[in-house]
């Protein structure tokens, strides 16, 4: 064994302690540090010939790289839709690396069982029926991609084509209907060979990002061909929700696969105050929920559910003599784009075990209360204007005067020591959005942000 490796092996307990100490140094004051990262990237250094061990690597990372990272794990990082990591999720993630188990196969170890157990908890959390089976993937983009891949196979079934075997060209043209899809849907359509042009945008209700069900019905009625509908449960700009029950009811008269993107909006179902937003989710054929957002597990983690595991296995089957037959409960290597995969379920298992349904309901409601409070503060500031009512956890706002993209970028920059928000455009109006999905955020953080905004505008 290389002498540096042998030395690190001897010193492993000390090394793990040093890492824990550094992690605490990072997290202990995460709420006090400037929220956005700053500084020029370090000058490049050549790949070392002889390394000098893990402790030197730790020191160099801390000195040269760590200061460039934002406090994205902290309570006032409101860009994109960003979760933190609960204490239990962090513990589970560290242990997932320590166990270093490959969950692809059931031939060895309990990883696949832990994943199935965790998927069952998540299914329960989101109120889905047992007909929905699921798997962990790396994020909502991948979850949407898997759901739409199963939809593709279903379209083949409707048209008498085995798409997994014959290819997407054998399927002919496909329509994917959606009102305000996340950008990852177009990306998935490109990856899956449908092409981005397969996406047909359906009108929304007036002044909303939610689909107009009557317009969707007209679009469905325009062709007898089976198609795919992507319903959105939580849009990024304004956290708007399609009426899932109204969309699902259209199945009585039209043939389509219903995929629901509930990347963060799926969590509305955890609170009686917001559960009406996701009513009808159980009628979906496939469902996407991100976990590195509102479940607050570390990157990267999401879950996908579908009622047609048989079709899913047809798409993703990874046939090899040493992997064995599919059987009734196919191994995860036959269900997801990856073959080898980490014990991604463990952080989710830890945090669900530690805080349960009630703990997550409290996080969802506190985030929603924070968004409502910031929304009220924005409305009270003469220089700012809310662009949409705060429905759940997103505040979308702009400047009252001269709301150009440049001026909003300047405002975001000036705000960035206190809070990180990201730019967007809503109905042609440049805007900023603040999304609350971190378990740490409290009312005091919202006051902090509102005070900063009041100083700036
Ligand atoms: C974040 C998000 C996605 C993409 O999620 P990733 O985890 O970044 O891949 C998809 N849909 C919606 C609605 C989202 O909010």
pLDDT tens by residue, 165-220? 999 999 999 999 999 999 999 999 999 999 999 999 999 999 999 999 999 999 99
Question: In which residue are the tokens 């909502």 written?
Answer: 140
The pLDDT value given to residue 38: 74
Q: How far is the CA of 314 from the centre of ligand 1 (A)?
A: 25
163 touches ligand 1 (CB under 6 Å)? no
Structural domain boundaries in the chain:
3-71, 91-350
The pLDDT value given to residue 215: 98
Instruction: Indicate which residue's Cα is closest to atom 13 of ligand 1.
Output: 263
Mean pLDDT of 356-376: 98
261 touches ligand 1 (CB under 6 Å)? yes
Q: What is the number of alpha carbons within 13 Å of residue 112 lying toward its C-beta?
A: 17
Q: How far is the CA of 342 from the centre of ligand 1 (A)?
A: 20
| Predicted confidence (pLDDT) per residue in 222-258, tens digit | 999 999 999 999 999 999 999 999 999 999 999 999 9
Packed helices 345-380 and 87-99: angle between N→C axes, nearest 10 degrees = 150
Q: How far is the CA of 263 from the centre of ligand 1 (A)?
A: 6
For the cut 80, the answer to whether the pLDDT of residue 323 exceeds it is: no
| Predicted confidence (pLDDT) per residue in 145-159, tens digit | 999 999 999 999 999
- DSSP state, 203? P
| CATH (residue range 91-350) | 3.40.640.10
| Predicted confidence (pLDDT) per residue in 249-304, tens digit | 999 999 999 999 999 999 999 999 999 999 999 999 999 999 999 999 999 999 99
The pLDDT value given to residue 418: 96
Model confidence band, residue 319 (pLDDT cutoffs 50, 70, 90): confident
Instruction: Indicate which residue's Cα is closest to atom 9 of ligand 1.
Output: 141
For 170-226, strand residue ranges (E) read: 176-178, 199-201
| Predicted confidence (pLDDT) per residue in 123-137, tens digit | 999 999 999 999 999
C-alpha torsion angle, residues 299, 305, 310, 314 (rounded to 10): -40
d(CA 217, CA 177): 10
Q: How far is the CA of 292 from the centre of ligand 1 (A)?
A: 10
- Give the atom of ligand 1 at the shortest distance from the alpha carbon of 265: 13
Helix or strand or coil: residue 113?
Answer: helix
Q: Compute CA distances 74 → 28, 29, 286, 415, 429, whole Å.
A: 10, 9, 32, 15, 29
The pLDDT value given to residue 40: 86
């Amino acid at each position: 064994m290389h002498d540096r490796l042998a030395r690190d092996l001897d010193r492993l307990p000390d090394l793990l302690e040093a890492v824990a100490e550094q992690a605490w140094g990072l997290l202990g004051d995460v709420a006090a540090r400037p929220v956005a990262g700053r500084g020029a990237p370090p000058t490049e250094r050549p790949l070392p010939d002889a390394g000098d061990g893990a402790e030197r690597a730790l020191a160099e990372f801390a000195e040269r790289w760590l200061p460039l990272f934002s406090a994205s794990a902290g309570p006032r990082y409101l860009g994109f839709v960003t979760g933190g990591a609960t204490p239990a999720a962090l513990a589970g993630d560290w242990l997932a690396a320590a166990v270093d188990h490959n969950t692809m196969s059931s031939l060895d170890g309990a990883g696949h069982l832990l994943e199935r157990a965790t998927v069952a908890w998540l299914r329960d959390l989101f109120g889905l029926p047992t007909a929905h089976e699921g798997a962990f993937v790396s994020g909502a983009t991948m979850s949407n991609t898997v759901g739409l891949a199963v939809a593709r196979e279903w379209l083949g079934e409707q048209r008498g084509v085995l798409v997994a075997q014959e290819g997407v060209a054998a399927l002919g043209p496909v329509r994917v209907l959606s009102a305000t899809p996340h950008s990852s849907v177009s990306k998935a359509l490109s990856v899956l060979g449908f092409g981005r042009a397969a996406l047909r945008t359906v009108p929304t209700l007036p002044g909303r990002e939610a689909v107009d069900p009557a317009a969707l019905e007209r679009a469905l009625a325009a062709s007898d061909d089976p198609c795919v509908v992507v319903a959105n449960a939580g849009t990024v700009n304004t956290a708007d929700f399609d009426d899932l029950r109204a969309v699902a009811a259209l199945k009585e008269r039209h043939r389509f696969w219903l995929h629901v993107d509930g990347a963060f909006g799926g969590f509305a179902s955890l609170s009686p105050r917001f559960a009406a937003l996701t009513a009808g989710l159980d009628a979906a054929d496939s469902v996407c929920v991100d976990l590195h957002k509102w479940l607050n597990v570390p990157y990267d983690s999401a879950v996908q559910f579908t009622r047609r595991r048989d079709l899913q296995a047809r798409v993703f089957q990874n046939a090899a003599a040493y992997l064995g037959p599919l059987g009734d409960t196919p191994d995860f290597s036959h269900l997801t784009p990856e073959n080898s995969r980490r014990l991604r379920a463990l952080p989710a298992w830890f945090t669900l075990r530690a805080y349960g349904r009630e703990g997550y309901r409290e996080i969802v409601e506190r985030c929603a209360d924070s968004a409502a409070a910031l929304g009220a503060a924005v409305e009270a500031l003469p220089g700012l204007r809310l662009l949409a009512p705060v429905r759940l956890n997103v505040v979308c706002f702009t400047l009252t005067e001269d709301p150009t993209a440049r001026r909003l970028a300047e405002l975001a920059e000036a705000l960035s020591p206190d809070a990180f928000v990201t730019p967007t455009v809503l109905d042609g109006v440049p805007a900023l959005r603040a999304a609350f999905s971190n378990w740490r955020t409290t009312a005091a953080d919202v006051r902090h942000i509102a005070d900063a905004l009041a100083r700036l505008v």
